[in-house]
Structure 1
Amino acid sequence: MGWRGVLLHIHIAPSASYEMEELAEGLCVAGRGIVGDRYHAGSGTYSKKPDVREVTLIEQEALDALMRNDPPLQDGVLRLRPGDHRRNLTVRGVPLNHLVGRRFRIGEVILRGGRLNFPCKYLEELLGMPVYLPLYNRSGLNCGIERGGVIRPGDVIELAE
């Protein structure tokens, strides 16, 4: 297998542009998303796009790199708190770019990696920070939920195949 990651944070927003709220646990519904989240409700900014976006993930390692100004694409460090990045799940030790089309598990939930998520100018406007270039190619992964269940911070993440 080669890697074993961990879920650090779960965030949802009830609608597009709303502030993200951190959860102690999230109920994932197959084919829908996390209960209470904009994508579960179909009211997210990108809900009408054809790609599957039931759950979005981002690597803590990418956020750590922004805090080191690595690579140096802006005037200084960028501090994004969990939830600022607008992804549902913040993970550590999970090679998201390698999970496109792959099945993996977070606790009892099975996800399938969809397309890589790219930063957008919308996120820059919401945050008032120049995050577009620093997050390019490391802005996370859009996923579909194949088997639902409850997830919690601390859950192990590993391939399901």
Structure 2
Amino acid sequence: MATLPRPGQVQWIGLRPARDVAMRAVAGVEAIAGRGLVGDRYASGSGKRGITLIQAEHLPVIAALSGHDSVAPALLRRNVVVSGIPLVALKGRRFRIGQALFEGTDDCDPCSRMEAALGPGGYNAMRGHGGLCARILEGGMIAVGDSVQPVAAA
């Protein structure tokens, strides 16, 4: 269970500056320990959901299940899209992206907004593919292209 085939890689980063505002893609962002991402509306909230991640490999699945040719990452309202590593394996584990250290806290279940974003059935299309919530243990910069590396338990 502790062995992963390879590190992952950040493919996309997005921020929600305010409620009901479209996400904006960024090349990099500062993660603040115990808070969130600078410029994201959730940066002042609780630390359990300081960042949300989704697997790039799940985007075509969500698109297919919701009847679309493709799905843009911003539509799914997650902060970071990663490829090459199974996010579910990081639940309850520490991992590093760029300069920051994270701990996977919980599944990032879809919300009712997915019905509007993806159309009828959008919520169910995302079930099991919503990604991972994580707390930020050590802050620092993260950027598109950074590796996603599990950290061995101490």
TM surpasses 0.5: yes
In the alignment, is the contact (CA less than 8 A) between 2:62 and 2:129 conserved in 1? no
How is 1:96-135 mapped onto 2 (pairs within 5 angstroms)? 96-125=87-116, 127-129=117-119, 130-135=121-126
Return the offset for 1:78.
5.1
Q: Aligned match of 1:54 in 45, 50, 54?
A: 50
Higher helix share: 2
Return the offset for 1:128.
4.8
Task: Measure the CA separation in 1 of the matches of 2:62 and 2:108.
Answer: 17
Return the offset for 1:123.
2.6
How is 1:8-23 mapped onto 2 (pairs within 5 angstroms)? 8-23=11-26
**Structure 1 counterpart of 2:128:** 137
**Structure 2 counterpart of 1:66:** 62
Q: Which runs of 5+ in 2 are unaligned?
A: none
> Aligned in 2, Cα 1:78/1:16: closer, same or farther, shift over 3 Å?
farther
Deviations 1:69-93 (A, max 9, x none): 2xxx45x335221211100001101
Q: Which runs of 5+ in 1 are unaligned?
A: none
How is 1:35-50 mapped onto 2 (pairs within 5 angstroms)? 35-42=38-45
**Structure 2 counterpart of 1:30:** 33
In the alignment, is the contact (CA less than 8 A) between 1:55 and 1:145 conserved in 2? yes
The one-letter amino acid paired with 1:27 is E
In the alignment, is the contact (CA less than 8 A) between 2:8 and 2:85 conserved in 1? yes
The one-letter amino acid paired with 2:56 is Q
The one-letter amino acid paired with 1:63 is L
In the alignment, is the contact (CA less than 8 A) between 1:66 and 1:78 conserved in 2? no
Q: Secondary structure at the match of 1:52?
A: helix
- C-alpha RMSD of the superposition: 1.7
Q: Secondary structure at the match of 2:74?
A: coil
Task: Measure the CA separation in 2 of the matches of 1:81 and 1:152.
Answer: 19
**Structure 2 counterpart of 1:90:** 81
The one-letter amino acid paired with 2:68 is V
Q: Secondary structure at the match of 1:16?
A: coil
